[in-house]
Structure 1
Amino acid sequence: MIKTVIFDMDGVIVDTEPVHRYAYFQHFDELEISVTDDLFATFTGNSTRNVFQKLKHAFGLDHDVEDLIQRKRNIFNDAFDTKKDLHLIEGVEDLIKDLYQNGIQLIVASSASKVTIERVFNRFKLHQYFSDIVSGEDFPKSKPHPAIFEHAASLAIGKKDECIVIEDSTNGIEASYAAGIFCVGYRSANTKLQDLSKADVIINHFNELNAEKIKNLK
C-alpha cells in the first residue's frame, strides 16, 4: 500500500513555469545569447545552477555561475511578486488535502531553490500538509539524476516501494525511474514537449486521482 506521495513542485503543484521562462529569457536577452525553444525544453526539471553550468559551457560565458543564478532569481522574484494570476494547478489542492486527511505522507522534491519553494508554500499555505521539503540546490546533479528522489524516499514513513512520485517533466520521470520509484506522469499544456513515456501511469487532470486510488496503485 502507498504510504508516501513525493510531489514535484513546478508544473505539478503550482504553475511557475511561465514565470521561470520569462525570467530566463529576460536574462538571455541581457546576456545576448540565443536559446531555442528546443534547447530550453531540455532544461525542464533541472536546477538553475545546472542550467547555467550548461549554458556557460555551450555559449562560452565569462560570468560566474553564482552571479548568473542570482540575476535570474532577482528577475524571477520581481515577476513572482507582481504576477497576480499565479495559481495552483487545477485540482491539486483538493488532492493534497484528500491525501493528508487520509494519513498519506506528503513530501515535495523540487529542483527549485529553497527560497522559491518557501515563497510558493507561504503564498498558498501548503506547509501544514507536507512533512518534508527537498530542494534540488542541495544536490550536485539535477534530475534526471535520481539523488533527489532517493533522498526524499529516505524520509518516507515506509519503504521505497510504498512511495510514488508525481512528475510532469522528462527529467523528473527519468529520475524517478532511475530511483526505482513508481511514477505518475502529469500531462499539462506546459508538458507538450516532455516525454512522459517512462511514467507508470499518466494523468491529464488531478481529479483522476484520490487517496483511495493512490493507496492501491501498483
Structure 2
Amino acid sequence: MINTVIFDMDGVIVDTEPIHYYAYHQHFKELNIDVPDELYGTFTGYSTINTYQKIVAHFQLPHDPAELVNRKRDLFNDAFDTKPDLELIEGAFDLIKSLHASGFQLLLASSSAKVTIKRVFDRFALHPYFSHIVSGEDFPQSKPHPAIFLDAVAKSGAPKSSCIIIEDSTNGIKAANAAAVFCVGYKSPHSLNQNYDTADLVINHFSELNAEKIRALRF
C-alpha cells in the first residue's frame, strides 16, 4: 500500500519556471550567448550546476560553472522577491494538506538549490507538511540520474513499493523510472515539450488524485 509521496517542486508544487526562464535568459544575455528554447527545454529537471556545466561545454565558455550558478541565483532571487503574483500550482496545496491529514509521509525531491527551496517553503508555509527535503545540489548528477529519488526513498524509511513520485518533466520521469518507483506524471501547462510516455500514470490536474486513489496504486 502506498503511504509515501515524493514531490518534485518546480512545475509540480509551484510555477517558478517563468522566473527561472527569466533569470537564465538575463544571464545568457550577459554572457552573450543565444540559447534557443529547444536547447533550454533539455535542461528541465537539471540542477543549476549541471545546467551550467552543459552550457559551458556547449558554448565553450571560459567560465567556472559554480560562479555562473551564483550569478543566476542572484537574478532568480531578485525576480522571486519582486513577483507578487507567484502562486502554488492549482490543486497542489489541497492535495498536500489532504494527504498529510490522511497520514501520508510527504517528501520533496527537487533539483533546485536549498536556498530556492527554502524561499518557496517559507513563502507558502509548506514546512509542516514535509518530513524531508532533498535538494539536487547535493548530488553530482541531476535527473534523469536516479540518485535524488533513491536518497529520498532512503530518508523516508519506506520500501519503494510503498512510494510514488510526482513529476512534470521528462528528466524527472526518467529518474523515477531508473529508481524503480511508481511515477505520476503531472502534465503541467507550465512545463512544455515534456514526454510523459514512461510515467505509470498521467494526470492533468491534482483533483484527479486523492488519498484513496493513491493508496490503491500499483506497478
Q: What is the TM-score when the length of structure 1 is the normalising length?
A: 0.99
Deviation of the 1:64 alpha carbon? 1.2
CA contact (8 A) 2:23 2:76 kept: yes
Question: How many equivalent pairs are there?
Answer: 218
Conserved? CA contact 1:2–1:163, under 8 Å? yes
Q: Is the 8 A contact 1:105 1:157 kept in 2?
A: no
Runs ≥4 in structure 1, deviation > 4 angstroms?
A: none
Counterpart position of 1:173 = 173
Q: Does 1:136 align with 2:145?
A: no
Aligned partner of 1:111 in structure 2 is 111
Deviation at 1:191, TM superposition (A): 2.5
Matches within 5 A, 1:43-54: 43-54=43-54
Which position in structure 2 is the counterpart of 1:207?
207
Could you tell me the percent identity over the aligned residues?
63
Query: Which residue of 1 is the match for residue 81 of structure 2?
Result: 81
Aligned to 2:159: 159
Q: Displacement of 1:18 after TM fit? A: 0.4
Counterpart position of 1:28: 28
Native 8 Å contact 1:3 1:157 kept in 2: no
Moved more, 73-82 or 183-192: 183-192
Partner of 2:6: 6
Task: Spell out, residue by residue over 1:57-112, the C-alpha distance to the aligned partner (whole angstroms, 9 max, x if none).
Answer: 00011111111000000000000000011100000000000000000000000000
What is the letter of the counterpart of residue 30 of structure 1?
A: E
Q: Which SS does the other structure have where 2:183 is aligned?
A: strand
Q: Which residue of 2 aligns with 1:91?
A: 91
Structure 1 residue identity aligned to 2:75: I
**Which amino acid counterpart does residue 149 of structure 1 have in structure 2?**
F
Unaligned runs of 5+ in 1: none
Q: Which position in structure 1 is the counterpart of 2:193?
A: 193
**1:59 and 2:59 equivalent?**
yes
Tell me the distance in 1 between the aligned counterparts of 2:43 and 2:30: 19
Q: Gapped runs of 5+ residues in structure 2?
A: none
